[in-house]
Structure 1
Amino acid sequence: MPKSKDEFDQLHPCDFYEADELLEPEKMYTVYEIARLMQGLDPNAEIDVETEEILLDWAIPWVIVNAEDLVVGEPESDDEPGYYGLKTDT
């Protein structure tokens, strides 16, 4: 149910990282790792499943919005996620 803005102590701008601010140019990341990076966590940080699901709700649209700046690498097997990285000139 929607809430009134006055119910919140503080409102923050909805500001997301640009792809080149978040990802290192020479690395490829899974969407799970991108989700962690968006929260300032190490890409290999251990987090509980419920938190990971919430973070994915932010990371998946971020990948879609930034698709022009990304390349995709195929997963090693069908049961693993794909990889995303910065599109570079190399």
Structure 2
Amino acid sequence: MPVSRDEFEDLRPLSFREPDEVLDDEKLYTIYEVARLLQGLDPDVELDVETENVLLDWAIPWMMTHTEEFVFAEPAADDEPGYYGLAK
């Protein structure tokens, strides 16, 4: 249900960082690690499933917006995620 703007004291602009501000250009990351890094979290931090799903909801469109800045490496096995990194 929508709420009144007056209920909030702190309204900030929505802004996303550029991929090179988030990722190390010498490393490859899973989508889960990228999602954590976008939120300023350690890429290895343990999260509950619901939180991780919310972070993925932010990370996937962000990556799609910047596809030209990423490279992709196939996963080591079919049951593992792929890896993403910065295009050099």
State if a TM-score over 0.5 links the two structures.
yes
Query: Hey, what's the Cα distance between the residues in 2 that align with 1:6 and 1:82?
Result: 43
Partner of 2:58: 58
Q: How does the TM-score come out when normalised to structure 1? A: 0.90
Q: What RMSD over aligned residues (CA atoms) do the two structures have, in Å?
A: 1.1
| 1:26 and 2:26 aligned | yes
| 1:2 and 2:2 aligned | yes
* Post-superposition CA distance 1:2-52 (Å, at most 9, x none): 333223221111111100000000100011001110111110111111111
Superposed, which structure 2 residues align to 1:10-89 within 5 Å? 10-88=10-88
Percent of aligned positions that are identical: 61
Query: Hey, what's the Cα distance between the residues in 1 that align with 2:49 and 2:74?
Result: 24
Aligned length, in residue pairs: 88
Question: Structure 1: 5+ residue runs without aligned partners?
Answer: none
Question: Structure 2: 5+ residue runs without aligned partners?
Answer: none
Report the CA distance between 1:56 and its aligned residue.
0.6
* Post-superposition CA distance 1:41-82 (Å, at most 9, x none): 110111111111111110111110111100011111111111
Amino acid at match of 2:24: E
